[in-house]
Amino acid sequence: MKIFITKTEIKSYLSSLKEQNKSIGFVPTMGALHQGHLSLIKKAQQKNDLVVVSVFVNPTQFDKKEDLINYPKTIENDTKLLKSVSCDVLFLPSVEEIYDNNVTSERFDFDGLEHQMEGEFREGHFDGVGTIVKTLFEIITPNKAYFGEKDFQQLQIIKKMVAKHRLDVKVKGCPIFREEDGLAMSSRNTRLTEAHRNAAPFIYETLKKVRKKFGTNNALELTEWVKNQFKKQPLLDIEYFMIADEKTLKPTKYQESDKKYRAFIAVFAGNIRLIDNISLHKD
């Protein structure tokens, strides 16, 4: 596996491969890699000649300083994991390499996809995500880029950015990878206390019940029902639960038959914030 830390070096390496018409699959990450990331890499390997993974904890997408400081950094283990799945290229830039001395976000208009859920509760988050993903796309110039559906709002926002800025990259969403007990894989899971880790599968159990009830109960009733369920869980504090149109991410109260919906949730397990979502359409 080749490892690059500067833009100049990786650009020059990848441009020689592009000249040979090799297709590039790209998996951007913030490190602390787990099986969910590896599943994205496997997908990318199936469809591209080579796969580039970036590991960069992007400061501009964190609204809380302590969250950035406490974000797990496990680069030795990440490198081992990437080698074990035969990743071709690791891009590991420093903050200075990406931002020079100006660690700020570009402002984006994502046509309203950014205002609710993560956008409402994490100020500036999606400008930070847009800034780093656009910058990385410019450096790597991938043919395809892979993102997990756990961050479904992020996925839709990146698709919107690519369309609006006419970037020449195909954005691929990949299904959520879960632990055996249903908890969505996340780098943050390693920071849960044992008690919170044991309580956390309740999130997905509840989402599965919402999926079952959807249709018989409307979104308004289900939102109330979910909030009541979490009242019985002293270790989990619900931040938001929302049923929204998959395309526009606009919350709905009463569903319409020609639309596809998804349920979204954010929960605090102690001071660790966990998100999850589930598709509500049954095909």
Binding stretches for ligand PAF (CB under 6 A): 28-30, 58, 61, 129, 132-133, 151, 154
Closest distance between ligand PAF and the C-beta of residue 19, in Å? 27
Q: How far apart are CA 132 and CA 117, in angstroms?
A: 20
The reply to whether 37 belongs to the active site is yes
In this complex, which beta carbon is closest to ligand PAF, that of residue 28 or of residue 142? 28
**Helix/strand/coil percent split, the chain, to 5:** 45, 20, 35
- DSSP states of 3-35 as a string? EE-SHHHHHHHHHHHHHTT--EEEEEE-S---H
Neighbours of 200 (CB within 10 A): 25
Spatial contact of 139 and 91, defined as CB atoms under 8 Å apart? yes
DSSP three-state, residue 274: strand
Tracing tokens 């009242």 back to the chain, one arrives at 231
Beta carbon of residue 265, minimum distance to ligand PAF (angstroms, whole number) = 17
CB-wise, 29 or 143, nearer to ligand PAF? 29
User: Smallest distance from the beta carbon of 160 to ligand PAF, in angstroms?
Assistant: 14
Nearer to ligand PAF, 153 or 255 (CB): 153
30 vs 174 by CB, closer to ligand PAF = 30
Q: How far is the CB of 258 from ligand PAF (least distance, A)?
A: 31
> Taking the CB of residue 275, how many other CB atoms lie within 10 A of it?
22
The residue to which tokens 């994205």 are assigned: 40
199 and 231 in contact (C-beta within 8 Å)?
Answer: no
Task: Enumerate the active-site residues.
Answer: 37
